[in-house]
Structure 1
Amino acid sequence: MIDAVIYRTKSGAIHSFAISGHAFFAERGQDIVCAGVSAVSVGAINAVHALTGITPIIDHDEDGFLRCTLPEEIQESTYEKVQLLLEGMVVSLQTIEENYREHIKITFKKQEVE
């Protein structure tokens, strides 16, 4: 199962997210759940960078682990754009979860950061 954890600040903004595991929906290379989650999460990171100029801090490996953390200092107007892009990612991941509950689980956690 793919585990997606969305970390929010006390005020509810997305601070980071981590995705790990495998969907096991189909064979490697044929797994539409894995492909969808990868496309949505990597696409969101790419959109944040391309559309706002913000470069998130990324950690990943070949086993399906991806962590994305926003840098500390982001101007307010840019921060709002970044949040909109990341919230769009969450909506897309939730849509995948609604259709493939046995293969992906999304969890939301509050961080102490603000």
Structure 2
Amino acid sequence: MITVVITRNDMSDIVSFTMSGHADSGPHGHDLVCAGASAVSFGSVNAITALCKVELEVEMEKDGGFLRCYVPSSLDDVTFEKVQLLLEGMIVSLESIAEEYSSYIQVNDIIGR
């Protein structure tokens, strides 16, 4: 199962997200849940880089199955809000996948860390 953990501060701003695990909803290379979750998460990270000119701090494992991204704390207010909007859109997309495929992906939103 893919587990997504969204970590927010006390003001509900997203400070990081982590995706770990494998969906195993189909054979390797044909796993639609994994492909969808990967496309959404990497697309969001790439959109933040391209549109906001912000490089998130990214941790990944070589064999896949793990992605952690941190939002820099030094962003100006306008850029920070744009990054937040793109990440909120990512969460909506991941939650949509989880609604249809709850046996393979779970999204947890944690406030106050």
TM-score (norm 1): 0.95
C-alpha separation between the residues in 2 aligned to 1:66 and 1:44? 12
C-alpha separation between the residues in 1 aligned to 2:89 and 2:21? 22
> Partner of 1:6 in structure 2?
6
> Partner of 2:59 in structure 1?
59
Aligned AA for 2:101? Y
Taking the TM superposition and a 5 Å limit, the aligned residue runs for 1:71-86 are 71-86=72-87
C-alpha separation between the residues in 1 aligned to 2:31 and 2:112? 32
Residue 38 of structure 2 corresponds to residue 38 of structure 1: yes
Q: How many residues align?
A: 112
C-alpha separation between the residues in 1 aligned to 2:80 and 2:64? 30
Render the CA deviation track for 1:8-60: whole Å, top value 9, x for unaligned.
Answer: 11110111000000101001100000000000000000000100011000000
Aligned AA for 1:82? V
> Partner of 1:90 in structure 2?
91
> Partner of 1:104 in structure 2?
105
CA contact (8 A) 2:57 2:72 kept: yes
> CA RMSD of the aligned region, Å?
0.8
Which blocks of at least 5 consecutive residues in structure 1 are unaligned? none
Which blocks of at least 5 consecutive residues in structure 2 are unaligned? none
Aligned AA for 1:12? S
> Partner of 2:26 in structure 1?
26
C-alpha separation between the residues in 2 aligned to 1:76 and 1:24? 40
C-alpha separation between the residues in 2 aligned to 1:88 and 1:110? 17
Give the Å deviation of 1:109.
1.3
C-alpha separation between the residues in 2 aligned to 1:63 and 1:37? 12
TM-score (norm 2): 0.96
Percent of matched pairs sharing the same residue: 46
C-alpha separation between the residues in 2 aligned to 1:111 and 1:71? 17
